[in-house]
Amino acid sequence: AQSVTQPDIHITVSEGASLELRCNYSYGATPYLFWYVQSPGQGLQLLLKYFSGDTLVQGIKGFEAEFKRSQSSFNLRKPSVHWSDAAEYFCAVGPMDSNYQLIWGAGTKLIIEP
Amino acid sequence: NAGVTQTPKFQVLKTGQSMTLQCAQDMNHNSMYWYRQDPGMGLRLIYYSASEGTTDKGEVPNGYNVSRLNKREFSLRLESAAPSQTSVYFCASSVGLTSYNEQFFGPGTRLTVL
Reduced to 3 DSSP states, what percent helix, strand and coil does chain A have, rounded to the nearest 5? 10, 50, 40
Question: Any CB–CB contact under 8 A between A101 and chain B?
Answer: yes
pLDDT band at B18 (very low <50, low <70, confident <90, very high): very high
DSSP one-letter code for A85: G
**pLDDT value of residue A101:** 80
Distance from CA of A28 to the nearest CA of B (A): 16
Shortest CA distance from A35: residue in chain B? B102
Q: Which helix (H) or strand (E) holds B23?
A: strand B19-25
- The verdict on a CB contact (< 8 Å) between A104 and B43 is yes
Report d(CA A107, CA B14) in Å as an integer.
Answer: 29
pLDDT in tens, A47-83: 999 988 889 999 999 999 999 999 999 999 999 999 9
Report d(CA A41, CA A105) in Å as an integer.
Answer: 19
- The verdict on a CB contact (< 8 Å) between A43 and B4 is yes
**pLDDT value of residue A99:** 62
pLDDT band at A95 (very low <50, low <70, confident <90, very high): confident
DSSP bridge pairs for B57: B47
- Tell me if A23 sits within 8 A of A74, measured CB to CB: yes
Task: Report the b/e string of A16-43 with b at 16+ CB within 10 A.
Answer: eeebebbbbbebeebbbbbbbbbeeeeb
**pLDDT value of residue B101:** 83
If one counts every other C-beta atom within 10 angstroms of the C-beta of residue B39, the result is 10
**pLDDT value of residue B97:** 82
